[in-house]
Structure 1
């Protein structure tokens, strides 16, 4: 069966064969329909003729029985009916008098007289006194009344006859019509195949052209001259192929060329790296992949605009190409030249197909760093950039483009963390570090879902009275295996994986609920919550804060939100728009780490803030560094002039405390008073007066 199915499948893939078979089916169906209609008409006519002939013979036969009926000659009637059934080829016949008594009957084998004498046709003929007939598909039933010479009704003869001639006629007609249909198919099917084949030849031409086009052979022309829709279609194909040929060339350029810098793009670089690294592995040679990320480019792009940023990328690409070309010429390389590509954004890559030793890659990387350090002239301004470079050497650091690019990227990230404008080789420990960071991020997601985060509270102490005047909410992670982790162990990972906003919202809600609980214990002090850049820049920030207050039933004046100076000053106008609605409702705002950023005095006076938090780096050094002491004094003097509250962070010694109190600081927090503690310990600390005793001492 399988070869037959394959043959049928192969035949049915031919459009000519399909149309030929369809034409043959139409011919056969049309012939069959016409012959069926003719057969029905002929059958009807034949049946009527047979019925009339049988009725006439039956009528003639029954007329001779009138005397026997009148004399009630049962024996004669029985003999006559038997002879009549044989002579006329009847299947059944019987006679009844006008009292419905059976005078005689004859039946074919297998019939039951009890059922036949109840024929309605005989009864109706007897009652009406005239002949009755019923013609079925192949059966004729007739009831003939018997009259005497004086026209008196004496009985009825009922006869049933199978029209066997009709069946033979119908079977013969079917055989004849089938032969005619097959003969028509034999004549017209090859003719139909020939006509369909000629009509569909242009379609085959179009199919061959489409097959060639699928193999990227687009420089062709289809010549079809039929003067109908197929010629129009062929001309449309020709125009389409011409356009596709042009578009394919443009697409090839778009697929492999970066349109801003005209350098090869990521896909082209990946393909070239795959080819070169495979060849190096086969030939036992060494090469390198350099991953470059520009330092400070985002700031320049935001300041000058996207258009000038693209011009800057063009100039960077030109310098990178010039340096690598110069290095190729200086080394006298006869083989493939180095390839510079742009992956996207401010990321570039360099493929060094062949180097004698890894130090060659380092020397080229350092030349690239020095080239990017030189100033760029943009719109009449000198702009300075840096570049961080990661180096992956193949085949030892990887033999496929994905591994090489990933490893070079990891090395670049380490170079950037080291301060940028430098180059680093990939080390296997970097992979382990990246894997650990990935594990940390996954565990942190579980921590958020499984409520493993807890909030600790560090008291803020009034410098004059020693009373607890507030608290700062600080998140901790109760890790299932590593124990309690401080924010430094996971906050950076949370920022990189985008969880910092969700964690910040959770801490805000938890701190508001805890501060509301303190009120029920008679402790009515504000709680300070740090706000991340992701939270602050998000649409609906104010609504989320108000929702947390409403959820906890906490008055707004008992909530203080802390923004770092860099967040507040990155977009001062937006900061004002975000802060003012909440401040109008009573929420307090503090600038955290004040003094470490780049605040503009013009904006500082307009900023709707209530508190300056002096960064702990200044507090820690103020007793030993005169410059740090001057900075603290300046911040306190500025806060006093602006009528703002100040909080000194990181107070750890009595000497620091005394200097801050002497300079007019209002609040302090640090290990001198208490470390961050769980909520229940914070309540005991506040109610026990530990802070007052520490200040008094």
Structure 2
């Protein structure tokens, strides 16, 4: 019954039914109004006829009774009235003479005679000598005067008669008109429904189109040829659907497609991963999510520009898609193919919906690494990239997109830290490492805010006599629970969380203040401060250095800034632009870890540097490794030719010291001379060194 009730309710709510019922109501109301007018007219005519008939009957009676009334023949009059009342259907009838005496009376009921009280209309008719009648409540009262032939008023005849025929006529007319109205409704209502249905058929077409549009089916056209407003409305609907369809397609593209590579974006990849992971749980299968991060892309992008960088990303996406498509075809997996997506920047992901075991994911990941290693042709240049891949297998490594992508990202970070251009599977221990790294980053933020960092100083000594000729500022972390931590325990975390710039600025200001305090004690010892890439590339780097010097009241020649070779060679023109203004003020610059990067001799001769710092890896191996010794000798010869100072790092044995001094090294630092020490210990070391030198002289 419920479906029937719903269907009936739906029909009753339809426009066709509403307009049909409205048309039927109009037909019924019009018919009723016409019938009412006709009935009123008919009733008026019937009433007038009945009144005329009753008046004529009573006037005839008055003529017949003129002589009996004039002679007061009460017996005749009474008998005549008794016979007449039955024949004409009156309810009561009586005759008065001119003295208002009752000569005869008759009633249609058992009313007792002799109790008559003359009606007002009878008295007025007798007094005025004219005919009078009154109709109320379906009862007609007529009073006719009785005149003799000599026109003498001798009495009055009164009759009260119910107009039964008038009521019967009205009832008959009502029944007849009701049947006519019902007949008209029966004939015209279906016809009205047909006409209304045809007229509203375009509205139904528009309604169906709107219902389809609500289900996002906008690829349609409404055909309405009525030549009226409905056709105009249908054309407006068609234009609206066309615009909505175009807008939805553009919105879908913006929401689910990466505009640079035309690959699926993060949201599309997340939805597909969710679907596939749920299906694997139901079917007992397995798949994998690969998280890819390009190696060296930033350097290439900075060199080529944003436009060429986008072209390179497009080529990378195309190459990744070709590899996965080839793997799908080789394995016969064409029903549920792999998906390549770009998350943003130089990060890509690959979804492998079905794999037999982890070895399948490893093979595909290695093929992706090998494919990206091949050169890319950009603007006539060959560009070489690498890619680090993290692999998370579902459902064992996670059953939802967020967990799988996080675990694959952790594995990718391990692959990148291991050197890049390789694939790494997720391991549960990576979660613990990530948690520990997060805790470390939070504690490091507190350390910067709560001034838990301290600066140690490692002396630089002259190769000739061992006198202290400078110091390198090295940051330490006085951890509340773990004690004093060296930079290796937290610098990488500081770089990843973006605190390295803030820490570098703090060390610069602290070292400048300490060097100024040494100067006030009579020790003019230059202090060297390492500069991070983030710190150096920031706008206003030169201004921050000058502000630190001014705040500490330290002469610029007592400050030396150390840049790694990779920073110096990444963008030589910017290095020259940043360094030269400070160097003109007297600040010295050193290339740290020299020999470990890829320096261009053309730029090297133009670089505004004062010191080469020989990396400790060469110094450590120079007594045992012929190649390391040659590198050191080459660096020292180059520095001598360019008239630059040299600092040998990591000198730990007398043999290393002797070889470096023999080759012409200027300064040295390392455990052979002194370990990094607090500022107070360094002052004591430098003072003693200068005293020993003075005694030796």
Q: TM-score range by the shorter chain?
A: 0.5 to 0.7
Separation of aligned partners in 2, 1:275 and 1:556: 63
Aligned to 1:592: 592
Contact 1:209 1:222 in 2 (8 A): no
Task: Report 1:412-561 matches (<5 A).
Answer: 412-561=412-561
Q: 1:287-686 to 2 correspondence within 5 Å? A: 287-333=287-333, 335-686=335-686
Q: What is the Cα deviation at residue 595 of structure 1?
A: 1.5
Q: Structure 1 residue 382: deviation in Å?
A: 3.8
For residues 308-333 of structure 1, the C-alpha deviation after alignment (integer angstroms, 9 at most, x for no partner) is 43333333333322332232232233
Q: Secondary structure at the match of 2:512?
A: helix
User: How many angstroms apart in 1 are the aligned matches of 2:513 and 2:648?
Assistant: 26
Task: Say whether the 8 Å CA contact 1:673–1:691 is kept in structure 2.
Answer: no
* Structure 2 match to 1:24: none
- Residue 270 of structure 1 is matched in structure 2 by 270
Relative to structure 1, is the Cα distance of residues 334 and 526 closer, same or farther in structure 2, using a 3 angstrom cutoff?
Answer: closer
Cα offset, 1:688, TM superposition: 2.3
Q: How does 1:183-202 map to 2 (within 5 A)?
A: none
* 3-state SS in 2 of match to 1:681: helix
- Offset at residue 272 of structure 1 (A): 0.6
Q: Deviations over 1:434-465 (max 9, x none)?
A: 11111111110000000000000111111223
Per the TM alignment, residue 396 of structure 1 is displaced from its structure 2 partner at its CA by 0.7
Deviation sequence 1:207-227 (CA, Å, 0-9, x none):
999998666465577999999
> Over residues 83-103 of structure 1, what are the superposed CA-to-partner deviations in whole Å (9 max), with x where a residue is unaligned?
xxxxxxxxxxxxxxxxxxxxx
Give the Cα–Cα distance (whole angstroms) in 1 for the partners of residues 377 and 475 of structure 2.
46
Change (3 A) 1:575 1:395: same
Give TM-score, length-normalised by structure 1: 0.66
SS of equivalent residue, structure 1 residue 387? strand
Distance change >3 Å, CA 400–CA 455, structure 1 → 2: same
Distance 1:617 1:245, change over 3 A: same
Structure 1 residues 448-489: Cα deviation after superposition (integer angstroms, max 9, x where no partner): 000000000111111223221111110000011111000111
Q: Report the CA distance shift for 1:673/1:217 in structure 2 as closer, same or farther (over 3 A).
A: same
With over 3 angstroms needed to count, the CA separation of the structure-2 counterparts of 1:548 and 1:334, relative to structure 1, is closer
| 1:300 positional shift | 3.3
TM-score, with length taken from structure 2: 0.66
In 2, Cα distance between equivalents of 1:338 and 1:689:
69
Q: Do the aligned partners of residues 481 and 209 (structure 1) sit closer, same or farther apart at CA in structure 2, a change above 3 Å counting?
A: farther
Assess, with a 3 A threshold, how the Cα gap between structure 1 residues 458 and 222 changes in structure 2: closer, same or farther: farther
**C-alpha spacing 1:519/1:224, structure 2 compared with 1 (3 Å):** farther
List gaps (5 residues or longer) in structure 1.
1-204
Q: 1 CA distance for matches of 2:445 and 2:570?
A: 29
Give yes or no for contact 1:222–1:238 (8 Å, CA) kept in 2.
Answer: no
Deviation (angstroms), 1:554: 1.1
SS of corresponding position for 1:652: coil
Matched residue, 2:144: none
Tell me the CA shift for residue 232 of structure 1: 10
Residue aligned with 1:363, SS:
helix
Distance 1:554 1:574 in 2: 26
> Taking structure 1 as reference, are residues 385 and 536 closer, same or farther at Cα in structure 2, changes over 3 Å only?
closer
CA distance 1:691–1:309, shift in 2 (3 Å): farther
| Superposition map of 1:216-235 within 5 A | 216=216, 218=218
Contact 2:468–2:690 (8 Å) recurs in 1? no
Q: What is the CA–CA distance in structure 1 between the aligned matches of 2:343 and 2:482, rounded to whole Å?
A: 39
Q: Cα offset for 1:672? A: 0.6
Partner Cα distance (1:231, 1:684) in 2? 99
Q: Answer whether contact 1:470 1:527 (CA < 8 A) is retained.
A: yes
CA contact (8 A) 1:512 1:554 kept: yes
Partner Cα distance (1:375, 1:583) in 2: 40
Distance in 2 between residues matched to 1:521 and 1:226, nearest whole Å: 102
C-alpha contact 1:461 1:691 (8 A) present in aligned 2: no
* Change over 3 Å in CA distance of 1:224–1:535 after alignment to 2: farther
Structure 2 contact 300–309 (Cα < 8 Å) conserved: yes
Q: Which moved more, 1:625-634 or 1:232-241?
A: 232-241
Between the aligned partners of 1:547 and 1:232, the Cα distance in structure 2 is 73
Question: What secondary structure is seen at the aligned counterpart in 2 of 1:263?
Answer: coil
For residues 183-240 of structure 1, the C-alpha deviation after alignment (integer angstroms, 9 at most, x for no partner) is xxxxxxxxxxxxxxxxxxxxxx999999986664655779999999x99999877644
Instruction: Give runs of aligned pairs for residues 8-19 of structure 1, distance below 5 A.
Output: none
Q: Matched residues in 1 for 2:499 and 2:256: separation?
A: 35
| Superposed displacement of residue 371, structure 1 | 2.8
The answer as to whether partners of 2:441 and 2:497 remain within 8 angstroms in 1 is yes
State the shift of 1:423 in Å: 1.5
In the TM superposition, residue 415 of structure 1 has moved relative to its aligned partner by 1.7
Instruction: Report how far residue 668 of structure 1 moved.
Output: 1.0
Looking at structure 2, the residues matched to 232 and 543 of structure 1 have their Cα atoms a distance apart, in angstroms, of: 69
For residues 309-365 of structure 1, what are the alpha-carbon distances to aligned partners after superposition, in whole Å with 9 as ceiling and x for unaligned? 333333333332233223223223364122222222332222111122122211222
SS of 1:389's equivalent in the other structure is strand
For 2:381 and 2:609, locate their aligned partners in 1 and report how far apart those are by CA, in whole Å.
35
Instruction: Point out the structure with max Rg over C-alpha.
Output: 2
SS of equivalent residue, structure 1 residue 475: strand
Equivalence map 1:49-198=2 (5 Å): none
Q: Report the counterpart of residue 6 of structure 2 in structure 1.
A: none
CA RMSD of aligned residues (A): 3.2
1:399 Cα deviation from its structure 2 partner: 0.5
Rounded Cα–Cα distance in structure 2 between residues aligned with 1:578 and 1:374 = 35
Residues 289, 352 of structure 1: 8 Å contact kept: yes
3-state DSSP class of the match of 1:689? helix
Seen in structure 2, the aligned counterparts of structure 1 residues 226 and 324 have a Cα distance that, compared at 3 Å, is: closer
Equivalent-residue separation in structure 2 for 1:370 and 1:689 (angstroms): 57
Q: Give 2:256's aligned residue.
A: 256
Alpha-carbon distance between aligned partners in 1 of 2:499 and 2:545, rounded to the nearest angstrom: 18
Which whole-Å CA distance do the structure 2 matches of 1:469 and 1:447 have between them?
A: 32
2:342 is paired with a residue whose SS is strand
Q: When the two structures are aligned, how many residues end up with a matched partner?
A: 494
| Residue 558 (structure 1) shift | 1.1
